[in-house]
Amino acid sequence: MSKTTPATLFLTKAGVAFDLHPYDYDPDAPRVGLQAAEALGVDPDQTFKTLMAEADGKPVCVVVPSPQEVSMKKLAAHFGAKSAHMMKVPDAERLTGFKVGGISPFGPRKMVPTAIDETAQLFDTVYINAGQRGLLLSIAPDDAARVLSAGYVDLMA
């Protein structure tokens, strides 16, 4: 497993501190983020998943706690859209350059507007995918928000 990914290169270039956390990725896990949290022995609410969605047909990225579901209504409202839905897997992979299960908000092929669930502020560090399956990174939430130009928003259903 390479520990250099577009996500780690992006953060390094931006001068943002992070630590890497490899784990045994289970492609058959019903919820990959929860499996990652368990494998690393960290609080599932501190482990954030990266989801690609479309708001009025425009790509957006949302970063939310792994156990939670995103409210499409709240997501649409945040991005000033009338409606929102999850992006299809092939579209998400093509847009980001990452495989599902390894999508990171850091260093995608194309940067898109990003929102981070407000609960990230409850933690000194959060765990977010580092750009490949089986590799998370820990980062200060404010550093993540700053480097992504992302706002904190109530996104949960």
List pLDDT tens digits, range 93-142: 999 999 999 999 999 999 999 999 999 999 999 999 999 999 999 999 99
Q: What does the DSSP assignment read for 58-96?
A: EEEEEEEETT--B-HHHHHHHTT-S-EEEPPHHHHHHHH
Q: What is the reported pLDDT for 59?
A: 98
Q: What is the reported pLDDT for 1?
A: 57
List pLDDT tens digits, range 18-40: 999 999 988 888 888 889 999 99
Q: What is the reported pLDDT for 29?
A: 82
Backbone angles phi and psi of 58, in degrees to 5 = -100, 135
Q: What is the reported pLDDT for 26?
A: 85
Nearest to 68 by CA among 120, 130, 143: 120
List pLDDT tens digits, range 65-74: 999 999 999 9
How many angstroms separate the CA atoms of 59 and 41, rounded? 32
Kindly report the CATH number that applies to the domain delimited by 6-153.
3.90.960.10
CA angle 81, 65, 118 (to 5 degrees): 60
- Token code pair at residue 74: 């709240």
List pLDDT tens digits, range 49-86: 999 999 999 999 999 999 999 999 999 999 999 999 99
What does the domain layout of the chain look like in residue ranges? Answer: 6-153
Residue 99: left if φ>0, alpha if ψ -120 to 50, beta else—which one? beta
Q: What is the reported pLDDT for 30?
A: 80
Please say if the pLDDT value at position 2 is more than 90: no
Which residue pairs, CB below 8 angstroms and at least 24 apart, start in 72-76? Answer: 74/153, 74/154, 74/155, 74/156, 74/157, 75/115, 75/155
How many angstroms separate the CA atoms of 104 and 20, rounded? 13
Residue 13: helix, strand or coil by DSSP?
helix
Neighbours of 127 (CB within 10 A): 25
Backbone angles phi and psi of 67, in degrees to 5 = -75, -10
State the pTM of this model.
0.94
